[in-house]
Chain A
Amino acid sequence: MNKLQKLSFASAVSASIIIAATAIITIWAELSPAFKDGLKNLTGHHWLTKSVFVLIGFPLLLAVLYGLLRREISYSALHKSLWVLIWTAVIGSAAVLGFFAWHYLL
């Protein structure tokens, strides 16, 4: 089995999940002061908590996915995972920027 192919797939899927989760957490925290306070209480700063979530969550998810994948990862699956990552990054960035613009102008 091509380990680098499997690692690339696990990384693309993990990155997509972490980016989507970070965007959701960010917007949710702005809409719910109690949730934002909860994030702040974990590390002392809400942004630091989100950073720790990405810095620990991404490699952890990558390692778990890599370990769980038993079968060979096809190039077709890797192809799809890269497109999912591209669109997740585009939509996640647009959602965060759009939300803060909307939140300010409202």
Chain B
Amino acid sequence: MIGFILQSKPVLVGLHLGSAILGIDALLWLLGEMIGRSAHKGRILVSALLGVLGFAASWLIGGYYYIKFYGPVVKPIIKAGSAPWAHAIAMEAKEHIFLFILPLAVTILFVSLLDQQKLELAGLRKPLLILIGLTTAIALGLGLLGFIISSAARWGIITL
């Protein structure tokens, strides 16, 4: 089963995207809890932790796919196709900005677990909400870059 997954390119891309969506949805859930001034520690912990785990899984799976298949198989197709910029700009930016996500998600986890009343009184709620929103926006932006890269690969094959 593991062997099949590791060799199956569409499954790897699906798992990479799926776990990133899990991370994004978890952060949106956390954002809702924070905006609603939730006092439910359990929900805050689960949503923030799911965010970290989702992005960690996406990194691991996406990284394996990137090194094993993207470089040797997909990249040459995109570079020879009608949109070589999809690799030169979108992929290069995506693979490096992705490295920022996990430290951001881990920091969000710690800050979210602080006492909510103290967060409010100390004026930490605003930067925390912005940090969660920003991390979600960056992750969604990376998803958009991923869509551009996949589309360029498909059009690259047609062009070739």
CB within 8 Å of B: which of A68-106? 75-76, 78-79, 82-83, 85-86, 89-90, 92-93, 96-97, 100-101, 103-104
Q: Is B135 an interface residue (CB 8 A)?
A: yes
B residues contacting A by CB (< 8 A) are 59, 63, 66-67, 71, 85, 88-89, 92-93, 95-97, 99-100, 102-104, 106-107, 110-111, 113-114, 118, 122-124, 127-128, 130-131, 134-135, 138, 141
> Assuming the A-B contacts A22-B96, A45-B67, A47-B95, are A100 and B89 also in contact, with contact meaning beta carbons closer than 8 angstroms in the complex?
yes
A12:B96 contact, CB within 8 angstroms: no
B66:A47 contact, CB within 8 angstroms: yes
A–B pairs, 5, beta carbons within 8 Å:
A23-B96, A45-B71, A86-B131, A89-B135, A97-B97
B138 cross-chain contacts in A, Cβ below 8 A: 89, 93
A76 cross-chain contacts in B, Cβ below 8 A: 122
B111:A75 contact, CB within 8 angstroms: no
Q: Is A54 an interface residue (CB 8 A)?
A: yes
B interface SS class: helix
Q: In whole Å, how far is A59's beta carbon from the nearest beta carbon of chain B?
A: 8
A7:B92 contact, CB within 8 angstroms: no
Q: Is A39 an interface residue (CB 8 A)?
A: no
> Assuming the A-B contacts A4-B113, A4-B114, are A90 and B99 also in contact, with contact meaning beta carbons closer than 8 angstroms in the complex?
no
A residues contacting B by CB (< 8 A) are 4-5, 7-8, 11-12, 14-15, 18-19, 22-23, 26, 45, 47-48, 50-51, 54-55, 58, 75-76, 78-79, 82-83, 85-86, 89-90, 92-93, 96-97, 100-101, 103-104
> Assuming the A-B contacts A75-B122, A79-B122, A104-B88, are A86 and B96 also in contact, with contact meaning beta carbons closer than 8 angstroms in the complex?
no
Docked complex Cα distance between A90 and B134 (Å): 8
B103:A8 contact, CB within 8 angstroms: no
> Assuming the A-B contacts A8-B111, A51-B59, are A22 and B99 also in contact, with contact meaning beta carbons closer than 8 angstroms in the complex?
yes
Docked complex Cα distance between A89 and B113 (Å): 21
B111 cross-chain contacts in A, Cβ below 8 A: 8, 11-12, 78, 82
Docked complex Cα distance between A29 and B59 (Å): 21
Docked complex Cα distance between A48 and B110 (Å): 27
Q: In whole Å, how far is B12's beta carbon from the nearest beta carbon of chain A?
A: 16
Nearest B residue to A98 by beta-carbon distance? B93
B85:A89 contact, CB within 8 angstroms: no
Nearest A residue to B66 by beta-carbon distance? A47
Nearest A residue to B87 by beta-carbon distance? A104
Q: In whole Å, how far is B109's beta carbon from the nearest beta carbon of chain A?
A: 8
